[in-house]
Structures are given as structure tokens and as C-alpha cells.
Amino acid sequence: MSETKSRKRFSRDRYFPEHIIRNIIYQVLQGLAYMHKNGFFHRDMKPENIMCNGTELVKIADFGLAREIRSRPPYTDYVSTRWYRAPEILLRSTSYNSPIDIWALGCIMAELYMLRPLFPGTSELDQLFKIITILGTPNKEDWPEGYQLAAAMNFKFQQTVPTPLATVVNSVSDEGQKLMADMMQWNPEKRPNALSSLKYKYFLVGQKLGAPVVSQPSTSNRKTSAGSTLSDSRVVLGKAKLKPTATEVKTFDGDMQPERNINRNLPICK
């Protein structure tokens, strides 16, 4: 199936139906599961790097920052776009790994429901404060490494109770909230991996999920499946760029911030 460059956009007040979001996240998880199984993690998961051909075929793009899972740290701390950056990276960890992709996908999933970023921080510190505002203060016993990282950079976690995701994310089911919450665990070791995420109840709804089977030339013996279609590096290389808007939105902490990079309208291709 050829990749079309024409795109349709949903307006700000027209949200994605949950069954569409479910299928998008399912296919991205398939791609991440394949990638992680084969020893790589993406390091720059964001909406611009998820390409849609219609609402059925989804591909992961732009592997320019990808690293081998088994490669030796230290890794650079400046990876991934800030709004989708995992807290361990914001706290300058140099030994992060594939759970940063899962965190980013949790943020992307929320954005598909909201049509705006969940954590639109204006700096690394503001990004941490935005995360704390919604997820609450991490428990020191649950994530001692996080507190060690914070102490090393003289950062103090403010004491905040978590905000229920249902009050922030539009029209998400209980099963969707559970998946998002687990993907965005403070402690990276407690986030589900991509393969186990595919087994969550969110996907067990009797809906046909995955990419459509595409017929191959008769000279080829290769069978196309949802996993192979999504993860084939020959078809996912390339980067989808969305043009940002420059209006202003009110962030969760009440400040007016320029919406320089907020994608008001997430792409749906036909």
C-alpha cells in the first residue's frame, strides 16, 4: 500500500472515536514490541512520528535517535520532544531504556483523546511540574532512583495529590485510563512493556485491530501481517511533519503559554 501525502484534519471540537484511537495505539504497540524485541528503542516517540494511511494502517517513522537496548550507557539526556519526555530523562538519567517509548506513547494516547498535549511544559522544570500536577508526587519508596536523580540536580518534588485522568482526558473508558496510567508510571521499571500492553482489557473488546492484510506480488513469498507491515523499516523510514499553530492556550497551572508547537488537529490520512 502506497503512503499518501494528502491529509484530512479533525477540527478542535471533533474528537476521535475511541475505536479509532484503540486501533492506532494497538498498531504502534505492535511496532514497538517488534522493535524492542529486536534490540532497539526509538527515543523520539511523538505524534509527528506516527504516520497514518487512512485510519487503518499506522506506521512508526524517524529512527534517527534510535539506540540499541543493550548498548552501554551513558546515553545523552537530550532526547525526545519535551512534551513526551519521560521523567527519568527530565531528571538527567543516563541509563534509561525502552520504557521511555512506553511513557511517550501514554502521552500520545492522551493527546489523541484531548487533541492537545497532556503535559505542554515550556522548559524541563515546567515539564516536571506539569507531570506532577496530573500524576501527583511520586512515592519515594516506589521510585527511590528518581529521588536520587532529583537530589543530584537540586530538584525538590512538590507535594501534590494526583488528578484523576477521567477529569483531564476526554471520553476515555476505564480500560483506557488504566492503560494510560500504567504507561505513565513514574518508575520506568513499573511500566508495562509493549507486548504486555497489548494484552490489556482496553484491547479486548471484540474489535478487529491491526493493519489490514495487503496482497503482495505473486513473485514474493512474504506474507503481510499487522506486525510485519508496521515494523518493516523499509516502509516506516521518513518523517511526517505537522505545521504548528501559534495561538495561545491555557495550561493546567493557569498560565497563558504560546501554543507554538501544539498540534490542534491530529492528522487522519485518506
Look at the alpha carbons of 19, 25, 27, 33 in this order and tell me if their dihedral is positive or negative: negative
Question: Alpha-carbon distance 149 to 138, whole Å?
Answer: 13
Residue 77 · residue 89 · CB < 8 Å: yes
Nearest of 181, 183, 209, 177 to residue 196 by alpha carbon: 183
CA atoms within 13 A on the CB side of 228: 8
Q: Tell me whether residue 13 is one of the annotated catalytic residues.
A: no
**Residue among 44, 126, 182, 253 flagged as catalytic:** 44
How far, in whole angstroms, is CA 235 from its chain's centroid? 20
Question: Alpha-carbon distance 182 to 237, whole Å?
Answer: 29
| Cβ contacts of 144 within 8 Å, gap of 6 or more | none
Buried b (16+ CB within 10 A) or exposed e, 195-230: eebbebebbeeeeebbbeeeeeeeeeeeebebbebb
- Terminal Cα-to-Cα distance of the chain (whole angstroms): 12
Residue 130 · residue 160 · CB < 8 Å: no
How far, in whole angstroms, is CA 102 from its chain's centroid? 6
Residues with catalytic annotation?
44
